[in-house]
Amino acid sequence: MARIGFVGLGIMGHAMALNLVDAGFDVVVWNRTASKADDLVAAGAASAHSPADLASRCEIAMMCVSDTPDVEAAVFGRDGIADGLRPGGLVIDHSTISPDATRRFAERIVDLGGHWLDAPISGGSEGAANGTLSIMIGGETTQVERAMPYLRTIGTTITHVGPTGAGQLVKAVNQILVVGNQLAVSEALLLAEAGGLDLKTTIGAIEGGAAGSWMLSNRGPQMIERDWRPGFTIDLQQKDLRLVLEAADGLGVPIPGTSLIFQLYRGLQERGLGSEGNHALVKALENLSGIELSADG
């Protein structure tokens, strides 16, 4: 088996790297804040001094960072992955970034003799911790097959969706559905609260039917308990929605519902709530209505 590198040890990346270590793979890790790698090293991973050092020691470099500029810096910045890329080395980007930038980055890596897969993920911090992420992959079939033993360690729904950039575009589709569903859950629970229904009983009554969803079952109870710990923060959700809006604009596709949700999240950011979970979207509706969800609802 190949030695695997992992760059970016945030909420998602840390759990993904730990699953690779726990599965017995030979893993090298790097993070801008080095202390985030301490427990991974204790679990058996090796640490790298830089992304370039990591890439020079690994056949495959996986990466999960926040935004397009972060990917560019980690790969093409000083001591970036590109500086240490081995001949035939594979870069797998699990970040959610611009499809257009993804294609440009991939071309540069190919010019250096390497390969690129865009493989954004969905499933929240729970999915990352449990190794049950959904992974949507753009790139060459042979490279997808090469990566599959490692991807199966971090995800359960792994789909090759097309050429380079297609993974990022499918992630944009995913995020439209995520935020649209979150708005629906927020509106539904607010109506139940206003009508005096027991919110937990209401969720139990409907989650097994046509209205059921991951967001309702996983984030609904958190909303009722007013537990705003993030599986995915508002700030990161907004970053993704900017990418969605840019992609839709470039393709001439109207997405008015998503645009509305972007503005609702912007209002929450202005209130200093950007570090809360994206399920705090309900707070925007609470502010409009004067009604607040409660565990006693």
pLDDT in tens, 143-187: 999 999 999 999 999 999 999 999 999 999 999 999 999 999 999
Burial label, 288 (beta-carbon count in 10 A; 0-12, 13-18, 19+): exposed
* Domain identity same for 225 and 282: yes
**3-class SS of residue 134:** strand
CATH code of residue 270 = 1.10.1040.10
Neighbours of 30 (CB within 10 A): 28
User: Residue 20 phi/psi, 5° resolution?
Assistant: -65, -40
Indicate if 158 and 173 belong to the same structural domain.
Answer: no
The reported pTM is 0.93
Same domain, 118 and 251: no
What are the pLDDT digits (tens) for 85-129? 999 999 999 999 999 999 999 999 999 999 999 999 999 999 999
The arithmetic mean of pLDDT across residues 244-253, rounded, is 97
What is the set of active-site residues?
A: 171
CB count within 10 Å of CB 20 equals 21
Measured between alpha carbons, how far is 238 from 61 in angstroms, rounded to an integer? Answer: 27
What is the count of structural domains for the chain? 2
For 135, the domain range is 4-162
Which pLDDT score, from 0 to 100, does residue 297 have? 58
Cα distances (Å, whole numbers) of residue 64 to 70, 74, 243, 258, 292? 9, 10, 16, 25, 35
- Distance CA(55)–CA(82), nearest Å, equals 8
**Using an 8 Å Cβ cutoff, are 91 and 61 in contact?**
yes
The CATH number of residue 95's host domain is: 3.40.50.720
Centre a 10 Å sphere on the Cβ of residue 100 and count the other Cβ atoms it contains: 16
